[in-house]
C-alpha cells in the first residue's frame, strides 16, 4: 500500500471547488449606469465611523469594470465554480420590478457568459445584504410585503439568467443580516430593535425564501433543472465542559444561530426549533408582552416552508466555547439563548479578532447538520481567514490545509454528504465593519493603485494543486 492518503486523503470525483465574493464587497461602481442606492450605500455614506478605516464599497475592487480579471483569477485557480451575488439595486434600482436597469442586467449577463466561456459554473446569491434603500424605507424585512418584492426579483433572475445559472442561493446568512435590525453601528440597516426586529426580519426572510423556492420548483425547475438553497452561517458552539448544563447551552447556541433558519426548512417537523419557541415565548411573557417577540407560523406556512432547499449551504469560519449565561457580542446568539460564549485562549489566533483556528469545529458543524436534518447534501459555501497583507499567505495555506482535512474526515470517516468547498474570498475586498483592514482574498488587490491590480497569493498555487489532484498534500514544513 502506498500512503493512507489514497483513501481518506482524496476528494470524491464529483466534488466541486470554488471561490466566493459578494456584490457590495467587490463591485464598486455604486452609482454608475443607473444603479440604485442600497442600505449599505446609505448607511456608510451617512456614518463612515461605523467602519474601522472609515471606508466603504463605493469603488472597492472595482469588479463592475474588472470582472474579466476576476474570471482570469478563477481560471488560474482552477475553480469549478464562482459564487457571487447580484446587487438587487443594479437590476431594479428601487427594488420594484416594473423599473429595470438594462446596464445592470447586462453586467451580470457578461459575467455569467465570461464564466461559462472559461468552463466555470456560476453560483448566484440573490441577496447578500444590500437591500434597495427604497424598500428599506418601507420597513425592509420587517414588512411582510417584502415577500412579494423578493418573489418579483427572484422571478426576474430565474427568467433572465436561469438558462445558464443552475445554482441559486436566495439569501446569504440571515442570522447575520437580521442582526442589522437588532443592533446599531454594525450591519445595515442599523435599526437597534433587539429581540424584535431581528426575529421579525428572519420570519419574513424565511417566507420569502420559500416563495422563491416554490416559484422555481413550479415554473422553472422543469426546464432549467437547477438547484436552490440558502447559505447559513454555521459556526460551531462547543460545550465548555461535558456538564449537562454546558451541553444544553451548546444545543441552545446551535438552535438559535442555525436552527432558527434551518429547522423550518430542513427538519422533518418544520417550524422553529422547540427550544427557541419555548424560550422566546417565556421571556416575552415575563416582559409583560401580549404576544411573543418571535412570530408564529400557521400550520399551512410550516408545510409551505418545509423542504424548500435542494441542499444545505454551510458557511464556517470558527468556533466558540459556550456555557449558560448571556452573550452580547455574537450577533447570531440572541440573549434569549441564555448562552455565554468565548474563545479558548489556546486556539491559534488570526488577523481577525473573531476568527480562531478551530478546524475540528467544522467537522462537528457538518456532523450536527447531517444528524439534525437527515443527512442532506452539504456544500461548504464559505470558509476563510484574513492574512497579514503579504503575498506569502502561509497562515491561509495552513488554515485551508487543516479545514480541508476535516472535510475529508467528515466524508470518509463520518459518512456526511459533503459535495463542495468554497473559499472566502477570491479577492481582498470590503470586509464590512472592518473595511479594507481585513484581507480575505486568495488574490491581493492593490488598493493604492487606481487600476486595482490583482496578484495571486501563495495560497492560489496550494489550492490549485488540491483542486487538480483532489488530494491534500503532505505537510512538508510548518508555516
Ligand atoms: C461572512 O459572514 C460573510 O458572508 C462575508 O460577507 C464576510 O466577508 C465573511 O464572512 C468574512 O467575515 O467582531 O466579534 O463582533 C461574516 C459574519 C458577522 C463575522 C459579524 C464577523 C463580527 C464578530 N460576520 N462578525 S465581532
* Mutual angle of helices 359-372 and 394-412, in 10-degree steps: 30
- What is the pLDDT, as a whole number, of residue 181? 98
215 CA distance to ligand 1 middle (Å): 30
What are the tens digits of pLDDT across the range 138-169? Answer: 999 999 999 999 999 999 999 999 999 999 99
Cell of 132: 434597495
Return the residue whose CA atom lies nearest to atom 24 of ligand 1.
Answer: 176
Sign of dihedral through CA atoms 116, 119, 120, 124? positive
3-class SS of residue 31: coil
Pocket lining for ligand 1, CB < 6 angstroms: 22, 25, 172-173, 176, 233, 329, 331, 353-354, 382, 424, 431, 440
Atom of ligand 1 nearest to the CA of 432: 8
What whole-number distance in Å separates Cα of residue 479 and Cα of residue 464?
A: 18
Strands 454-456 and 443-445: antiparallel
The mean pLDDT value for 345-352 works out to: 98
336 touches 281 (CB < 8 A): no
Return the residue whose CA atom lies nearest to atom 12 of ligand 1.
Answer: 431
CB under 8 Å to 293, separation ≥6 — which residues?
195, 196, 199, 280, 283, 284
pLDDT at 22 over 90: yes
Return the residue whose CA atom lies nearest to atom 16 of ligand 1.
Answer: 176
Atom of ligand 1 nearest to the CA of 424: 9
CB under 8 Å to 278, separation ≥6 — which residues?
none
Position 69 confidence tier, pLDDT thresholds 50, 70, 90: very high
Position 330 confidence tier, pLDDT thresholds 50, 70, 90: confident
204 CA distance to ligand 1 middle (Å): 22
Position 328 confidence tier, pLDDT thresholds 50, 70, 90: confident
What are the tens digits of pLDDT across the range 236-272? Answer: 999 999 999 999 999 999 999 999 999 999 999 999 9
Position 3 confidence tier, pLDDT thresholds 50, 70, 90: very low
Atom of ligand 1 nearest to the CA of 353: 13
What are the tens digits of pLDDT across the range 406-448? Answer: 999 999 999 999 999 999 999 999 999 999 999 999 999 999 9
Nearest CA to 411 among 476, 367, 369, 447? 367
- What is the pLDDT, as a whole number, of residue 4? 43
Burial of 413 (0-12, 13-18, 19+ CB in 10 A): exposed
What whole-number distance in Å separates Cα of residue 456 and Cα of residue 442?
A: 6
The mean pLDDT value for 192-213 works out to: 98
- The residue whose CB lies within 8 Å of the most ligand 1 atoms, and thus the one to mutate among 331, 385, 396, 434, is 331
Position 332 confidence tier, pLDDT thresholds 50, 70, 90: confident
- What is the pLDDT, as a whole number, of residue 123? 99
What b-and-e string marks burial along 287-300, b requiring 16 or more CB atoms within 10 Å of the CB? eeeeeebbbebeee
Task: Identify the active-site residue in 27, 37, 173, 406.
Answer: 173
331 CA distance to ligand 1 middle (Å): 9
What are the tens digits of pLDDT across the range 215-228? Answer: 999 999 999 999 99
Return the residue whose CA atom lies nearest to atom 17 of ligand 1.
Answer: 176
The mean pLDDT value for 456-463 works out to: 98
- What is the pLDDT, as a whole number, of residue 8? 63
Is 382 catalytic? The answer is yes
Query: What's the start-to-end Cα distance of the chain, in Å?
Result: 29
Phi-psi region of 115 (alpha: psi -120 to 50; beta: other; left: phi over 0): alpha
449 CA distance to ligand 1 middle (Å): 26
Largest CA distance in the chain: 68
Instruction: Please give the DSSP secondary-structure letter assigned to residue 207.
Output: H
What are the tens digits of pLDDT across the range 117-134? Answer: 999 999 999 999 999 999
CB under 8 Å to 106, separation ≥6 — which residues?
none
What are the tens digits of pLDDT across the range 304-322? Answer: 999 999 999 999 999 999 9
Return the residue whose CA atom lies nearest to atom 11 of ligand 1.
Answer: 431
CB under 8 Å to 6, separation ≥6 — which residues?
none
Task: Identify the active-site residue in 114, 151, 338, 382.
Answer: 382
337 CA distance to ligand 1 middle (Å): 20
Position 2 confidence tier, pLDDT thresholds 50, 70, 90: very low
6 CA distance to ligand 1 middle (Å): 35
Please give the mean pLDDT across all residues of the chain.
96
Atom of ligand 1 nearest to the CA of 329: 15
Is 159 catalytic? The answer is no
What dihedral angle (degrees, nearest 10) is formed by the CA atoms of 366, 371, 375, 377? Answer: -20
pLDDT at 402 over 80: yes
Amino acid at each position: 500500500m502506498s500512503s493512507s492518503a489514497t483513501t481518506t486523503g482524496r476528494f470524491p470525483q464529483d466534488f466541486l471547488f470554488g471561490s466566493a465574493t459578494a456584490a457590495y464587497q467587490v463591485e464598486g461602481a455604486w452609482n454608475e449606469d443607473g444603479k440604485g442606492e442600497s442600505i449599505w450605500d446609505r448607511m456608510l455614506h451617512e456614518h463612515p465611523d461605523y467602519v474601522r478605516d472609515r471606508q466603504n464599497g463605493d469603488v472597492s475592487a472595482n469588479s463592475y469594470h474588472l470582472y474579466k480579471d476576476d474570471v482570469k483569477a478563477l481560471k488560474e485557480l482552477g475553480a469549478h465554480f464562482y459564487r457571487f451575488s447580484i446587487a438587487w439595486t443594479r437590476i431594479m434600482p428601487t427594488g420594484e420590478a416594473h423599473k429595470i436597469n438594462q446596464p445592470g442586467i447586462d453586467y451580470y449577463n457578461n459575467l455569467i457568459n465570461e464564466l461559462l466561456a472559461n468552463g466555470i459554473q456560476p453560483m448566484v446569491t440573490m441577496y447578500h445584504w444590500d437591500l434597495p434603500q427604497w424598500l428599506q424605507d418601507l420597513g425592509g424585512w420587517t414588512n411582510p410585503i417584502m415577500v412579494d418584492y423578493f418573489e418579483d426579483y427572484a422571478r426576474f433572475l430565474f427568467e433572465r439568467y436561469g438558462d445558464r445559472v443552475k445554482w441559486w442561493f436566495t439569501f446569504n446568512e440571515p442570522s447575520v443580516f437580521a442582526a442589522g435590525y437588532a443592533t446599531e453601528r454594525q450591519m445595515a440597516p442599523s435599526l437597534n430593535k433587539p429581540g424584535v426586529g431581528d426575529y421579525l426580519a428572519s420570519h419574513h426572510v424565511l417566507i420569502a425564501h420559500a416563495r422563491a423556492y416554490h416559484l422555481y420548483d413550479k415554473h422553472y425547475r422543469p426546464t432549467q433543472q437547477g438547484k436552490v438553497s440558502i447559505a447559513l452561517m454555521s459556526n460551531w458552539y462547543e460545550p465548555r465542559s461535558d456538564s449537562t448544563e454546558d451541553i444544553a447551552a451548546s444545543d441552545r447556541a446551535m438552535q438559535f444561530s442555525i436552527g432558527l433558519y434551518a429547522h423550518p426548512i430542513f427538519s422533518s417537523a418544520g417550524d422553529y426549533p422547540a427550544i427557541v419557541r419555548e424560550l422566546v415565548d417565556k421571556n416575552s411573557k415575563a416582559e409583560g408582552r401580549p404576544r411573543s417577540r418571535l412570530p408564529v407560523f400557521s400550520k399551512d406556512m410550516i408545510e409551505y416552508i418545509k423542504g424548500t432547499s435542494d441542499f444545505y449551504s454551510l458557511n464556517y469560519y470558527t468556533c466558540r466555547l459556550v456555557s449558560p449565561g448571556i452573550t452580547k457580542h455574537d450577533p447570531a446568539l440572541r440573549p434569549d439563548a441564555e448562552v455565554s460564549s468565548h474563545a479558548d485562549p489556546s486556539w491559534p489566533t488570526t488577523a481577525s479578532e473573531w476568527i480562531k483556528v478551530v478546524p475540528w469545529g467544522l467537522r462537528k458543524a457538518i456532523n450536527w447538520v447531517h444528524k439534525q436534518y437527515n443527512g442532506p447534501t452539504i456544500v461548504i459555501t464559505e470558509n476563510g481567514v484574513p492574512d497579514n497583507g503579504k503575498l506569502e499567505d502561509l497562515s491561509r495555506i495552513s488554515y485551508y490545509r487543516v479545514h480541508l482535512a476535516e472535510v475529508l474526515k467528515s466524508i470518509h470517516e463520518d459518512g456526511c454528504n459533503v459535495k463542495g468547498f468554497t473559499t472566502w474570498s477570491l479577492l481582498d475586498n470590503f470586509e464590512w465593519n472592518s473595511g479594507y483592514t481585513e484581507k480575505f482574498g486568495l488574490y491581493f488587490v492593490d488598493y493604492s493603485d487606481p487600476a486595482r491590480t490583482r496578484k495571486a497569493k501563495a495560497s492560489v498555487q496550494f489550492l490549485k494543486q488540491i483542486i487538480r489532484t483532489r488530494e491534500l498534500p503532505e505537510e512538508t514544513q510548518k508555516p
